[in-house]
Chain A
Amino acid sequence: MSVAPHIFRRAMRSLWENLYLNSVSTGVIAAALVLMGMYLSVQHNINTAVASWSRDVHVSAYFRPEVPEADREAIRDRIARDPNVVRVHYVDEEEARTWLRDRVDGLDEVFDDLGPGVLPASLEITLVDDGDLDAQVAGLDPWLRPEEFAEVDYGREWLERFDTFLSVVKGLGATMGLLILVAALFLVANTVYLVIYNRREELEIQKLVGATTGYIVAPFIVEGLAHGILGGLISIVALWGIHTVLAARLELALQIGLMPEFVFLPFSWVMALLLCGMVLGVGAASVAVTRFIATAP
């Protein structure tokens, strides 16, 4: 003889009979997971972008205006022969203007007003990423002399500062995520407790006819699992919707090309969110029933 079919049937019945409170529990789990999912999505996209920036170790060297065109090409060819250099691209003022115009609206008039000589010509140098960036950049020093170049931007310093900033953001995000989960656990546990409280007489009668604690508790755990699965699925659909709407708008707004493209969370992260919902639902139900059992006669 097995009590499992009875437990499952009771859980399904309770889900239906306490539809409002169960919807609240599911909604709270879904909302918490949406918040977490949005944070994870932002972090995932930034990680992807930073990884792509890190892969392309890049140096921009800006020519002094007085360096003749022929010398610029000679310097470019010398640098291109360096074994640490993957690629060198000479960007003249016209190309720089075109690149900026394509990405930022309304610059035509500004450029017309300013006239020529606003944007310096540059060499865009891509280095081999062998991990020892400092040595590679030092190897470029003989070619990037101050009398020929007004400014050299190694990019990496900015990247490292950005990495530090990202570490702080990740720490804050993890703390916030934890707080959101604890708050959701508290809210759902209280909602499930209300469901249990509504049925306290029934549960007391069950105890009087010989129900074990496991038999009394199990339907609520099943309900918690259902809240978690449903909340998780709702959050995934909501996140997909938010991603679809926001990604297109953000890509339009951030045309400068800093981000490769906005991608949705990887499958494993989506599954982790669903699992998180299930743990949240079951955890909250466990907290609520433990509280009830401890105080029940």
Chain B
Amino acid sequence: MIRLYRVSKSYKDVPALQDITFHVAKGEFCYITGPSGAGKTTMLKLLYGAERPSTGKLLINGTDVGKLPKRDLPRLRRNMGIVFQDFKLIESRTVAENVGLALEVLGTPRDRIRRQVEAVLNIVGLRGRGADRPDRLSGGEQQRVAVARAIVNDPSVLLADEPTGNLDGAMAIEVMEILQAINLRGTTVLVATHDTGLMQRFPYRVLRFRAGRLESGGRT
């Protein structure tokens, strides 16, 4: 599913990631963890193609992301859901419009978008909130909208960058339960977090980074 072999990433001469090798199987749930500056976010950026490895090989479903032409990035991302700590919702759009965005870019007809959005809002516990604007929702609800947007087109991989970072304990657990449920449906989930409490409560394989190197958890 996801395979990295000796991947390094430098910004000018400053190394952000060095010699990373690991493999995540289809349908697996994995944490990427480590202290601030360990390279968690850079790792996720490499996975969704916002950055390219300086050296090494990064394969997702057999596609070499490092060599993928820029014009082919949308194809990669359409098979991938991404959740951010700051939700990245469009404030001027309703919840339904935010969630439907991932289907709009595919050219899905409006009535089908409406049906799929309703279904996915049910999954994340936001039934009937489609017409609300994001600023009328709590932090936990906004993150659930972001998760709904990430899974509405049924991606094979879900990447989450500190998805609970802005949430209090109860809301964080709610979001983690949703991610867990998505994983149980067969989606590969990678969550970047430094919340050890959550990792203990939802125990899965942990890829531990420190100073740009993979300290433990990698498999070849």
Q: Which residues of A contact B (CB under 8 A)?
A: 1-6, 17, 201-202, 204-213, 215, 297
Contact = CB atoms under 8 A, between A and B. Distances in A.
A1 B109 contact: yes
Q: Give the 9 A-B residue pairs with the shortest CB-CB distance, closest first.
A: A210-B78, A1-B107, A210-B77, A3-B107, A211-B105, A209-B102, A210-B74, A6-B104, A212-B74
Interface in B100-126: 101-102, 104-110
A63 B156 CA distance: 102
A213 B92 CA distance: 22
A215 B107 CA distance: 10
Contacts of A207: 73-74, 77
A210 B105 contact: yes
Interface of B: 48, 50, 71, 73-78, 80, 82, 88-90, 92-93, 101-102, 104-110, 149, 153
A5 B109 CA distance: 9
Given A1-B109, A208-B48, 4 more contacts: A4-B107, A205-B101, A210-B76, A210-B106
B101 A206 contact: yes
A206 B107 CA distance: 13
Contacts of B89: 205
A205 B82 CA distance: 10
A212 B90 contact: no
Contacts of A4: 107
A5 B82 contact: no
A162 B92 CA distance: 61
Contacts of B109: 1
Contacts of B102: 209-210
25 contacts: A1-B106, A1-B107, A1-B108, A3-B104, A3-B105, A3-B107, A4-B107, A5-B110, A201-B90, A202-B90, A204-B88, A205-B89, A206-B101, A208-B82, A209-B77, A209-B78, A209-B105, A210-B74, A210-B77, A210-B80, A210-B106, A212-B71, A212-B74, A213-B71, A215-B105
A295 to B, nearest CB: 14
Contacts of B106: 1, 3, 210
A213 B73 CA distance: 10
A202 B109 CA distance: 21
B107 A6 contact: yes
A211 to B, nearest CB: 4
